[in-house]
């Protein structure tokens, strides 16, 4: 990068299925105020504001316009970003580019979703091509169910393995005061939860959350002057997939699909040969349990077909050698537009040592986050404690 970029502050709301007490702007403003407090900044000091959410989920386009009062964007430069489920990470990416380029010394990145105000299934159906496959579109659950059936047939994993992911996520969430689904559940509970779409049960799926996240990025000088614990953005990658193709459900594919391409490029940039050793913690975007197992493989944390063995051995537990989603992940909190930014912010908290109850019990110097969304594309962000 032309200039080094650091995360100098951030904040999130408490996440819940109901936030009837606030409107969209008021809710989002809670995260923004926490981010400003965390960075010890005033809104007047912010150079530019980027706002993101899922297109039309709350029934308005140009949310950046409707939000200018609560986001602090009035009179400032900035843009609205919508890239589907990846959007929170894309917004951090764009903010980092703004700062790295020298255009701005600091940028406020804002991401939110108030899922209760719209019909997520109905709006998601418009992700499908209008003339191809839309009759079965409308819920992510069917897509991830097919991923699960294909994964089980390909590698011999069992429903118990997805249940292990479900339990890990919700038990981690119990340690995270901001998480939505803090459930004290067992593998039996997960296996006995209501079947939604075989092999996906209720506890295999993310909730529909309301919430927001905000982060402040700054250049090296500002970060060192103003921030005791800057977290450095070391690399970012985005990779698209091919529309209409089997993509993520084709778990045995040899084709260069988005997730693997994105990982290999970011590893190349950083000179990573063994990601499980290089990074101390991972925050991945897993709207369903099966997606987390596929991420293990696509990120190269294990060989293809062995993701389910990682969870079986407890390798990715909060106190395991490769902690994945100590926050509880998307499975516990999915305010979609903010979910990908929460991955980055949670990873930053781990590096700062400020994650509180869900801080992983080891030194965290490097973290990797992933985002997934839209018609299968990925955004990855690598963070570090120091600049060496």
Partner 1 sequence: MTKKEKELISIPITVNVPYRFAAGKYMTKFLMELKNNGKILAIKCPKCGRVQLPPRVVCAQCHVKNDEWVELSHEGTLVAFTIMYLPLTDPTTGKPHKPPFVYGSVRLDGATSVLDHLVNIEPTMDKVWVGMRCKVVLRPQKDRIGDLSDIRCLEPLPGQKKPRG
List interacting residues with partner 1 (CB under 8 A): 20-21, 59, 117, 121-122, 125-126, 128-139, 141-142, 145-150, 153-154, 194-200, 242-246, 249-250
The residue (of 40 and 126) whose beta carbon lies closer to partner 1 is 126
Contact 209, 334 (CB under 8 A): yes
Q: How far is the CB of 269 from partner 1 (least distance, A)?
A: 23
Supply 59's token pair: 């029934």
CB of 134 to partner 1, least distance (A): 5
Q: How far is the CB of 313 from partner 1 (least distance, A)?
A: 24
Q: How many other CB atoms sit within 10 Å of the CB of residue 187? A: 16
Which residues neighbour 192 within 8 Å (Cβ) at sequence distance 6 or greater? none
CB nearer to partner 1: give 123 or 276.
123
By beta-carbon proximity to partner 1, the closer residue of 133 and 357 is 133
Distant-in-sequence, close-in-space partners of 185: CB < 8 Å, separation ≥ 6: 166, 167, 170, 171, 203
Q: Give me the residues paired with residue 9 across strands.
A: 216
The least CB distance from residue 240 to partner 1, in Å, is: 9
In the numeric block, which tokens belong to residue 251? Answer: 């778990």
16 or 281: CB nearest partner 1: 16
At closest approach, how far in Å is the CB of 59 from partner 1? Answer: 6
Q: Which is nearer to partner 1, 17 or 122 (CB)?
A: 122
Give least dist CB 79 to partner 1, A. 24
State how far the alpha carbon of 214 is from the alpha carbons of 51, 337, 341, in Å.
Answer: 9, 11, 8
Query: Residue 24 or residue 333: which is nearer to partner 1 going by CB?
Result: 24
Query: For the chain, where are the alpha helices, taking DSSP H only?
Result: 24-39, 63-66, 68-71, 87-100, 120-125, 140-155, 159-173, 187-192, 220-226, 258-270, 275-278, 289-298, 307-312, 329-332, 336-352
């Amino acid at each position: 990068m032309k200039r080094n970029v650091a995360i100098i502050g951030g904040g999130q709301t408490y996440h819940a299925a109901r936030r009837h007490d606030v409107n969209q702007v008021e809710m989002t403003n809670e995260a923004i105020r926490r981010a400003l407090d965390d960075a010890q900044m005033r809104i007047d000091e912010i150079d530019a504001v980027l706002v993101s959410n899922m297109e039309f989920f709350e029934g308005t386009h140009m949310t950046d316009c409707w939000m200018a009062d609560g986001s602090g964007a009035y009179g400032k430069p900035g843009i609205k970003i919508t890239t589907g489920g990846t959007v929170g990470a894309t917004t951090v990416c764009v903010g980092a580019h703004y700062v790295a380029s020298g255009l701005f010394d600091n940028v406020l990145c804002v991401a939110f979703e108030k899922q209760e105000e719209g019909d997520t299934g109905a709006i998601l159906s418009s992700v499908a091509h209008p003339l191809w496959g839309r009759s079965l579109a409308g819920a992510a659950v069917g897509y991830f169910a097919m991923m699960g059936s294909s994964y089980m047939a390909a590698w011999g994993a069992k429903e118990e393995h997805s249940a292990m992911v479900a339990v890990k996520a919700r038990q981690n969430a119990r340690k995270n005061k901001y998480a939505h689904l803090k459930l004290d559940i067992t593998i039996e509970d997960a296996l006995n939860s209501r079947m939604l779409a075989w092999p996906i049960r209720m506890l295999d799926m993310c909730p529909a959350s309301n919430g927001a996240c905000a982060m402040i990025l700054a250049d090296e000088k500002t970060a060192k002057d103003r921030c005791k614990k800057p977290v450095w953005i070391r690399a970012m990658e985005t990779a698209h997939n091919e529309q209409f193709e089997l993509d993520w459900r084709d778990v045995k594919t040899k084709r260069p699909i988005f997730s693997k391409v994105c990982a290999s490029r970011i590893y190349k940039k950083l000179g990573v040969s063994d990601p499980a050793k290089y990074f101390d913690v991972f925050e991945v975007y897993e709207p369903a349990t099966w997606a987390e197992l596929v991420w293990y493989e696509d990120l190269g944390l294990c060989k293809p077909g062995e993701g389910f063995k990682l969870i079986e051995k407890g390798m990715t537990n909060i106190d395991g050698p490769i902690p994945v989603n100590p926050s509880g992940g998307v499975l516990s909190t999915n305010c979609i537009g903010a979910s990908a930014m929460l991955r980055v912010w949670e990873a930053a908290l781990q590096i700062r040592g400020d994650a509180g109850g869900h801080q992983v019990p080891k030194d965290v110097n490097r973290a990797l986050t992933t985002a997934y969304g839209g018609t299968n594309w990925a955004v990855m962000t690598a963070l570090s404690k120091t600049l060496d």
